[in-house]
Structure formats: structure tokens, C-alpha cells
Structure 1
Amino acid sequence: MKELHPCDRVGPDFVDTARHRYANSVDLNITPEELFEVFEDAAAWPRWAKVITHVEWTSPMPPRVGTTRTVTMRGGLVGTEEFLLWEPPTRMGFRFNEASEKSIRAFAERYDIVRTATGCRLTWTLALDVAGPGALSLKVNGPVMNLTFRLFLRKLRKYTDERYGAAQVV
């Protein structure tokens, strides 16, 4: 495994206050409970978040606040994550405790879920703080990154439609 560097131990509110934030929403034709099944499934993450190549839970299941996992991404980025929120069926969130990239000072995500007449609406907020040249890169590449995150949510909708069927939730 790559050498890991400590990240700031931010709280769940970091996703609301971080300098670099990306928030996007998608309507899914599944229940919030089914969405949490997808969140628990390590093999599901690479299917829709194409930057992720492998997820390994490093704490006993089922997930809860304090649960940890290691996520490996394209380009060789590795992050060890700790769950700060695990509140089925309404929200979950985690932060990086360590990352293989020294420039990542802090990284956190929150997933807010609202039940709808046809399933649920997921709002995914990703927040980060980086040091050095990475900070300038975020200013320039931020819009492209945000577009990529929107594409991930479209892939999540396609994945959940295939996994659970595209029938509307009653």
C-alpha cells in the first residue's frame, strides 16, 4: 500500500463550510432503504463512481458512526475513511483520515436522502481543502470536477435502475 499522510479530522459540518464544495442531486427510483443497501455494498461503488476502483470495509458490518473503510481510486489515490454519519434512511457521511496524496488537507462527503413519491432524492456534497499547487488546480478544474460528479450520479441512477428495476416505488 502507498504511504498515507494524515488529513485534518474534520466534522460533518465541513461539507457546509469548506472552501471547495460540490453539491449535486439526483432523483432515484428506489427507496431510501435500498439506497443504503447500495452504500453498504463495497462492489457497488466502482460501478457508479468510476474514479473508485476498490472499496474495502475495515470495520465490522453493518456500518455505523466510526466505521472505517479504505478506498482506492484511479491515478493511485488511496484514502482511509471514517464514517461521521450513518443514519438510514436519511443521511450518511465520511471523511478521509489519511490520503496517499500529501496535498489533501481535508476531504469529506455527505449524502442527504429525502423520500419522494417515486423513490428518493439524493443530494451528494463533496468538500475538500488542498495545499500547494492543488489549490490552484481546483480553481481551474472545479467546474470539470463538478460535471464529473453529476455524471457519477447519472451512473448511480442507471445502476440502481438495473439493480432494483426501473419500476416506480409505491
Structure 2
Amino acid sequence: MAKSTTMHPCDRVGIDYVETAPHRFANSVDLAVTPDQLFEVFADAAAWPRWARVIRHVEWTSPLPPGVGSTRVVSMLGGLKGAEEFLLWEPGRRMGFRFNAASEKSIRAFAERYDVEPTPHGCRLTWTLALDVTGPGSFFMPLSGVVCNLAFRRFLTNLRRYTDERFATVA
């Protein structure tokens, strides 16, 4: 029998929260794919666990294609679930979302923004993740944040590998 997951409301922050949150992580990667190909990956629920290994499952809970107001539920390692709402969806340019609710009540607010710039050989992705936590987690955030940011950089390395494989061309 499946264990039920209680969801706890998060602050309904705007996309500008990624600039003002108490804990922010921003990393970039150059990808050898077009901005439109990258957004194809973003829209593909099955792709996320392939490069962001903490993600176990993504389920769109609103009709596709995605857009502003679209929703999905993301299940992660350790049983963490986030109910997300997209605040930005500009294919080839940028996207962003926030948690409306999370299975972990210590998550006060959470948002991510993905900014994409065309380059001569594909595109450059800048991923900004922002959050605020309560309780004991807030005390450990300075140290755990360093470890988390290393994992976030690894996710972008994995994204590069995944997009290279997914969009490989035969020479």
C-alpha cells in the first residue's frame, strides 16, 4: 500500500524571489543544443531524472504543452515532493516555477529560474535556485548549501551529457 504524503503550503513567491531569497544558488553551463531543443528537454517529464539525479519522477498535472500557470508534481530522493506552478514559460528564453506546497514543512519558500542565451555553438543555461527554510535546517544551511551547490553543478554537467546524447548527430 502506498504511503500518503501530506503536503504543506509554501509561500507563493513571485519569480523575482530568485534574486532576493535568503539562500540562492546560481550556476551556468554551455550546451551544444539550440534553445528550442533545451526547452524540449524541459517539457519532457521523463528527461528530468536522467540529468537531475535527485529527481525520481515528474508528473505534469495540467494539460501540455507547458505554459505560465502549468503545474506538476516532482518526487525526489528521500520522499520529498514538490507541487510546482510555472510562473514563466518563454520557450527558447526562460522558464521559472515555485513550490506551492512541499511534503517537507520546513520549506518556507522555493523557486527556480532557468535563463537561456543563444551562443555560436548552442546555448548557455543559467539556473538559479532559491529557497528559505525554517527550523533546524536553517541553522545548517550555510554548510549544507555548499554541498548542495556542488550537486547542482553536477546536475548541469549531467544535463550537458544528456543533451549531447539526446541530440547527437551522425557525422
Same fold (TM over 0.5): yes
Aligned pairs for 1:43-54 (under 5 A) are: 43-54=46-57
Superposed counterparts of 1:35-114, under 5 Å: 35-114=38-117
Distance 2:11 2:22 in 1: 14
Percent identity between the aligned chains? Answer: 69
Is this contact kept in 2: 1:105–1:130, CA < 8 A?
A: yes
Partner in structure 2 of residue 125 of structure 1: 128
Aligned length: 167
- Letter of the 1:122 counterpart: L
CA distance in 1, matches of 2:57, 2:141: 24
Structure 2 SS opposite 1:124: strand
**Separation of aligned partners in 2, 1:119 and 1:91:** 15
* 1:137 to 2:140 alignment: yes
Mind listing any 5+ residue stretches in structure 1 that lack a counterpart?
none
Task: Answer yes or no: is 1:6 the counterpart of 2:48.
Answer: no
Query: Which amino acid letter does the alignment assign opposite residue 52 of structure 2?
Result: A
Instruction: Measure how far apart 1:93 and its partner are.
Output: 0.2
- Displacement after TM superposition at 1:127 (Å): 0.2
1:162 pairs with one of 158, 162, 165: 165
CA-based RMSD: 0.9
Structure 2 residue 141 is matched with structure 1 residue 152: no
SS in 1 for 2:63: coil
Q: Scaled by the length of structure 2, what TM-score is found?
A: 0.96
How far 1:166 moved relative to its partner? Answer: 6.7
Cα separation, 1, equivalents of 2:96 and 2:169 = 26
User: How many Å apart are 1:88 and its aligned residue?
Assistant: 1.0
